[in-house]
Amino acid sequence: LFRMKFLQLLSRRSAGLEMLFQAYLGQNQVPYMCLTTSTCLYSKKKKVNGYEHVDQEKYKSLVYSVTSFKTNTRTPETLFEEDNLLYGPADKQRPPAKNVETKAPKNRVPLINPNKRILDSGSNPPLKIGLQKNKIPSVTNILQQTMPPQQALYLEKWKQKMILDLGKDGFAEYTKNLFLQGNLFHTTLESILLSEETPAKGQGEDSAVSGYLSSVQNVLKDISEVKALESAVQHETLQYLGLVDCVAKYRGQLCVIDWKTSEKSKPSLQSTFDNPLQVAAYIGAINHDVNYDFQVNCGLIVVAYKNGSPAHPHFMDADLCSQYWNKWLLRLEEYKEKN
């Protein structure tokens, strides 16, 4: 028994010496005498070990985490950690968007009217044309009937949540108050712009719109040369109409200005939903309406807040207005197809 154990130990050590000797000489398929008591063997072709060039220090923690547990404790979180260690952090960039052809309107009526004469109206008072009820659809009605499904779903969810909180009667009262506040806010702004005087701080403190008026003070100081206030416009070629809040210069640029009230912050133009299309529609209507002796190519959406925080003015330059004009033409075509 002792002799057998001694021979086994000697055989193991001889095998180890054999591997070291072969690695040192780098010889392949060379006959040699075995040091064991067994028959002589010939060395085989050395296999290339891909793990010899691995940075063992870099993956030491990973190996330890995998081999230190007897049971499989891998979770989605640990798999992500392993991937991060092996391949680096994941690329969070979105995949490149597929080339989707932008739909173009069939009726390419230009935003600017090339046939319209521009007259110098001088210092005439702002236009205020009354809205005549007729069979021509309004901009608001067209946008409501062609609202994208996702936007309509968002609006419906908001409505259901408000009804759940306030009840049907409470929600009806809430929307009624919003409408009255909006009208009062527009009326007060009209008076301010006509008099070209900024109300004193604290004026109308008990009014329901005092917060909104405080909110727009940072915008009113940049508005001058008012040309229209609460005035009706009609596109004579495309046959739609609307009521423009204001046409005036904002920081030297003549704009269609749309005043909006909100209890929620809207710091970006995208957060105003269809309002840019509404402004573009009004600009096109003014430029094709014989009642206006000027043309406009810029827009401004001013979002005023009930808590008095500074309003967000979203300026739309000529290029941006042209983009939204094309989107408006598509919505107008959709409305006409439905009706």
What are the domain boundaries of the chain?
125-195+207-336
Q: How far is CA 291 from CA 26, 119, 135, 144, in A?
A: 98, 12, 20, 27
**Residue 149, pLDDT score:** 85
**Predicted confidence (pLDDT) per residue in 272-314, tens digit:** 999 999 999 999 999 999 999 999 999 999 999 999 999 999 9
Confidence at residue 154, expressed as pLDDT on a 0 to 100 scale: 83
293 annotated active-site? no
Give 90 or 32, the one with higher predicted confidence: 90
Q: Of the listed 60, 161, 260, 327, which one is catalytic?
A: 260
Across the beta sheet with 240-250, what order do the strands follow? 223-235, 240-250, 253-262, 298-305, 312-316
Active-site residue flag, 258: yes
Structure tokens at 40: 């002589």
Q: Which of 245, 266, 274, 306 is catalytic?
A: 245
Based on the residue annotation, tell me whether 120 is a catalytic residue of this protein: no
- Structure confidence by residue, pLDDT tens digits, 163-187: 888 898 888 888 888 888 888 999 9
Cβ neighbours of 20 (radius 10 Å): 10
Give which of 324, 260, 259 is closest to 297, Cα–Cα: 324
Look up the CATH architecture of domain 125-195+207-336: Alpha-Beta Complex (3.90)
**Considering the entire predicted model, what is its pTM?**
0.68
Which tens digits make up the pLDDT trace of 202-242?
Answer: 444 447 789 999 999 999 999 999 999 999 999 999 999 99
User: What whole-number distance in Å separates Cα of residue 23 and Cα of residue 221?
Assistant: 86
Most confident region among 61-70, 101-110, 188-197, 311-320 by mean pLDDT: 311-320
**Cα angle 237-243-244, degrees, rounded to a multiple of 5:** 100
